[in-house]
A and B are shown apart, each in its own frame.
Chain A
Amino acid sequence: MVNFNLLFDPLSIFFLFVIFIISLPSAVYSLGYLKGEYSQGKVTLAWFLLSAFVLSMVLVVTVSNIFIFLVAWEIMSLVSYFLVVFDTEHEKSIQAGLIYIVMTHIGTAFLIAAFLVMYQYAHSFDFLAIKNACQTMPSQVKNIVFILLLIGFGTKAGIVPLHIWLPYAHPQAPSHISSIMSGVMIKTAIYGLIRFVISILGVNSSWWGILILVLAVISCLVGVIYALMDHDIKRLLAYHSVENIGIILLGVGLSMFFINKGMPYLAVFSLIAGLYHLVNHAVFKGLLFLCAGSVYKATGTRDIEKLGGLIKKMPQTAIYFLIGAMGISALPPLNGFVSEWLTLQAFFLGAFSAIGGSKLFLGVCAGMLALTGGLAAACFVKAFGITFLALPRSRHAEEAKEVSFSMKAGMFFLAVLTIIFGLAAVPIMGLLAKVAGASTGIDIGNMRFSLNNLIINPQVGKNIYLSTPLLALALVASAAAGFSVYLLFARLKPVSYKTWDCGYYKLEARNEYTATAFSKPFRIAFSFFLMPYRKTQKIRDSFYHVKSFAYETHTISVFKKYIYAPLVALVFKSASFMRRIQPGSIHLYLAYIFAALLFLIIFMQKF
């Protein structure tokens, strides 16, 4: 029997909170964003789909029954598909929608398989009954269920190599939807992993955590490297979602690793780090997508090579984008810094107490996380610098205007949250500890993560401290000191000179540094993975005078070329083979029916 009870345990409430703090500003933002962009009918449709989308996500995180969970999950996938193809007149939207819906249904198929196996043991769809039944499940079956769940939820979360749909689907949706999809929807997959793997199935073998950690590290690096190479601002953000899901999964996987090793304190601590990064990523990625949407609305292009100089035209959007970019690049004292710091500390503490190979493994993971943080910072220097600084590179960028009030309000709210989640780290950790404790089933009564209300201290007795309010204070103080020195000693009257131009005499937008040029060192450094293709063509009058110079470069997506393209080709081949049984001849169809009838009767005869 299917019951419709809703579940409001700490984990569900936490995810509800995440859903609402992103959906609310996005909805406000869409007031201004949709206006003038779409017809009245489409605006109504957008509101309907938005409400349905939020409602389905709410259902996903609150139901207490795998059957209804699947229904809600499917509604969520379908509604988001309709949102991806919302701009139906674009060829690209349709293609993105197709990739998205195929991938998400493959994921759902794996989930259904996992749930059916669980049902086989529990004879009930209820979470509680399944949890009890999982106690007696043989460990091989548990392993199979884990793999099925990991693939199923991994498709939605965008773990490499299942991330293929993310960079297509997220940029094509309207911006407020991109912000919800990237900020919240892919997090429902993390909810699924925590709920079904940690809470219900129970961590069984140590390789589960290690597998998730390995996948997470790969996701981090692949996501950030592709983000560096991409110059479509929304696609760049979508690749960063892959990276950040990786960081979140580092926390979750580490927690599973520690649960299995019997270290409850570190398990809770890592899960806190993961959940903290989850809510942080929701906030700053939502903010960044909204800013990208504002840029798109103001200029009509998402290609950052055509932008530039927007900080003068759209100062507020620029500041919000800068805050979001600082958050995602993990700069203190903003929220991304806190959660990445916590994740790193979890790795270090784990490496201290672990023995043998796992010591090395955790150390390597921590190193990779640090590398990811650095690359992310570089990527956002590129994104912010090319988009907002210097001179406009095209007429679109020259004619940009600041966006409307409701859009600014949505961005402002999230920008403030980015700062608050950085400064109020200690109380938030306390709340997250309850969530982590409830979902892992570990008693957190005597665990302490902070010295007082200002300072985080991951492990009592070790000299590891972090205090974002004090850091912020120090930053503000040093900035104030610098500014007062400037006031005291600098000339107060601004004098405008021409930019020094190395003797070129006339500098214009065409001389500017481009995103392609900025990312070139990384393209060379990671050439073993990106396999860049470049072509230069010079046409010269004489040896000294080059008349024209053409430069062309692009990178090859390894996953698309070596995994998905052969797979798709195989499917099409087998489909065209199967098509032969349908030649369109009525006689043959009748013969099929007749043969089936004869076969069935003979079958009955024999058995």
Chain B
Amino acid sequence: MVIAKRVPALIRSFRYQSFFIFLVTLSAGFTERQGDLYFVALLILVLKVFIIPVLLNLTAKRINVDEGLGLFVNSQLSLIVALILSYCSWVFSRSLGFGLYHKLLGQTVAFSVLFIGAFLMISRMKAFSQVAGLLVMENGIFLFALSVSGGMPFFVEIAIFLDVFVSVIIMGLFVYRINKLFTHIDVTKLSRLKG
């Protein structure tokens, strides 16, 4: 995901990530024998694997701009940073000390997804990557909840999904508007708005 240089590649990698989370949720549903988790997994499949990426692709096509993401940090260096962040998240989750080994691994993955999401937001110029970064961070939070306590209460989960869905729509709209107004979606140039 961090080596993606173009918008479609980023969306594709987000789709893969969401698919893996779907698998993780499904397996958690098997091991913990909870009906809710199956439903949540289904929601992930529908929303994050299909609808949201399609929506993002649509927006990208509609605004019809250059596909490059505009990297502050090039792909190779981004990969190294991602590795460092993963190590950091390993250290952090160990210090959190929830015990059990497989849970520790889950937390590490969750943390690193969270960090990488934030890193994406910081190190890419185009507004798309900020949207994608936020979605990735949301994935990370979901993973963390799953790994610590086997998922949040069902209704909370549903509400969060709704939130994410709506926010994607809103952000898509915003990106569209920004593009219309400024004829670009380069976030670095927004600093000109400052007084």
Contacts and interface: CB of A to CB of B under 8 A. Distances in A.
Interface residues of B, number: 19
A586 B185 CA distance: 13
A586 B186 CA distance: 11
Contact of B119 (A583, A585, A594, A605): A594
Interface stretch (B3-11, B45-53, B88-96, B162-170): B88-96
B193 A584 contact: yes
A545 interface: no
6 contacts: A584-B191, A586-B190, A587-B121, A587-B187, A591-B122, A598-B88
Interface in B124-142: 125, 130
Q: Which of B118, B130, B192 has the most CB of A within 10 A?
A: B118
Given A598-B88, A601-B92, A605-B92, A584 B118 contact: no
Contact of A590 (B118, B125, B190): B118
Given A583-B194, A587-B188, 7 more contacts: A582-B194, A584-B193, A585-B188, A586-B130, A587-B122, A594-B118, A605-B91
A604 B93 CA distance: 12
Contacts of A590: 118, 121-122
Nearest to A597: B118
Interface string B92-136: 100100000000000000000000001101110100001000000
B72 interface: yes
A607 to B, nearest CB: 11
* Secondary structure dominating the interface of A: helix
A604 B92 CA distance: 9
Contacts of A597: 118
B123 A587 contact: yes
A321 B63 CA distance: 77
A147 B193 CA distance: 47
A601 B95 CA distance: 10
Contact of A587 (B72, B88, B92, B193): B72
Contacts of B190: 584-586
A605 B94 CA distance: 10
Interface residues of A, number: 15
A580 to B, nearest CB: 12
A599 to B, nearest CB: 12
Contacts of A594: 118-119, 122
Question: Top 6 closest A-B pairs, CB basis?
Answer: A584-B194, A584-B191, A585-B191, A591-B122, A590-B122, A594-B118
Nearest to A595: B122
B80 to A, nearest CB: 16
Contacts of A598: 88
Contacts of B125: 587
A584 B187 CA distance: 10
A601 to B, nearest CB: 5
Contacts of A583: 191, 194
Contacts of A587: 72, 121-123, 125, 187-188
Contacts of B187: 585-587
A478 B87 CA distance: 102
A498 B194 CA distance: 72
A586 B134 CA distance: 14
A604 B118 contact: no
Contacts of A601: 92
Contacts of B72: 587
A496 B192 CA distance: 78
Contacts of B119: 594
Interface string A566-605: 0000000000000000111111001101100110010011
A376 B194 CA distance: 54
Nearest to B94: A605
B16 to A, nearest CB: 24
A604 B130 contact: no
Nearest to A585: B191
A604 B122 contact: no
B186 to A, nearest CB: 11
Nearest to A591: B122
Contacts of B122: 587, 590-591, 594
A562 B191 CA distance: 39
B92 to A, nearest CB: 5
Contacts of A582: 194
A178 to B, nearest CB: 37
Contacts of B92: 601, 605
Contacts of A593: 118
A594 B85 CA distance: 12
A41 B118 CA distance: 54
A592 to B, nearest CB: 10
B97 to A, nearest CB: 12
A591 B72 CA distance: 12
B181 to A, nearest CB: 16
Given A587-B122, A590-B121, A604 B191 contact: no
B136 to A, nearest CB: 13
A324 B188 CA distance: 67
A528 B190 CA distance: 56
Nearest to B125: A587
